Amino acid sequence: MIDQYSETTSSCTALIEKMKANATATLSRLLGDWRAQPGEVMVDLCSGTDEGCLFALSRGAVSAIGINLSGGENGLARAHLPGAAFLGTDLATDLQGVADNSVDRIMALNILEHIDKQLLAPMLERAARVLKPSDYLVAMTPNAG
C-alpha cells in the first residue's frame, strides 16, 4: 500500500507546474530566513517530486540533493529538475554516501515525525556529520504529536 501511494502521488503530471509554483511560494512563506541561501549545498530528506530542491536552486543554492525512496517521484523529479541529484535510498541509509562537513543545509519537512524513534537518533547523527560546522538542519514536524 505504501509503495502504491508513493507511486500514485507522482502521477499527476498535468498539475505539476501549478503545484510547484504553489509549493515554492508556500515554502518561501513558511521558511522565511531558514530557507536555502545563495551559494549553499542543500539536501532535502524525503524530497517528493522536487519542490524543495527546486526552491533551493531558485534561491541560488549551488547544488541540491533530494533523497526519496519512491522511484516514481524520483523519475518525475529528474525529468523536471535535471540540475539536482535525486537519490533513491531510504532515510535509514540516506546520508552514508555524503562527505563529512560538505552540506550547508538539510531540509526535513514533514518527515521526522514519521521515523521510528530507534532510527531517528542515528539519522540525526548522520545529518550532524555531513553538515558544515555552524550550518543547519531545518525541520518542520506538524504531525509530531
Given this model, what pLDDT does residue 145 score?
Answer: 57
Asked whether the beta carbons of 130 and 104 are under 8 A apart, the reply is no
Q: Does the residue 13 lie in any domain? A: yes
Q: Does the residue 145 lie in any domain? A: no
Q: Does the residue 124 lie in any domain? A: yes
- Full domain range(s) for residue 9: 2-140
Q: Whole-prediction pTM value?
A: 0.81
Given this model, what pLDDT does residue 81 score?
Answer: 87
Query: What is the rounded distance in angstroms from the CA atom of residue 78 to the CA atom of residue 50?
Result: 8
Number of domains in the chain: 1
Q: What is the pLDDT of residues 104-145, one digit of tens each?
A: 999 998 888 888 888 888 889 989 999 999 899 998 888 665
Grid cell in block for residue 46: 524525503
The enclosing domain of 11 has a CATH number of 3.40.50.150
Given this model, what pLDDT does residue 24 score?
Answer: 74
Residues 6+ apart with CB under 8 A from 84: 50, 53, 54, 57, 63, 64, 65, 66, 77
Given this model, what pLDDT does residue 9 score?
Answer: 54
129 to each of 32, 68, 114, how far by Cα in Å?
Answer: 25, 20, 22
Q: Does the residue 84 lie in any domain? A: yes
- Name residues of the chain where pLDDT drops below 50: 1
Q: Does the residue 106 lie in any domain? A: yes
Q: Does the residue 125 lie in any domain? A: yes
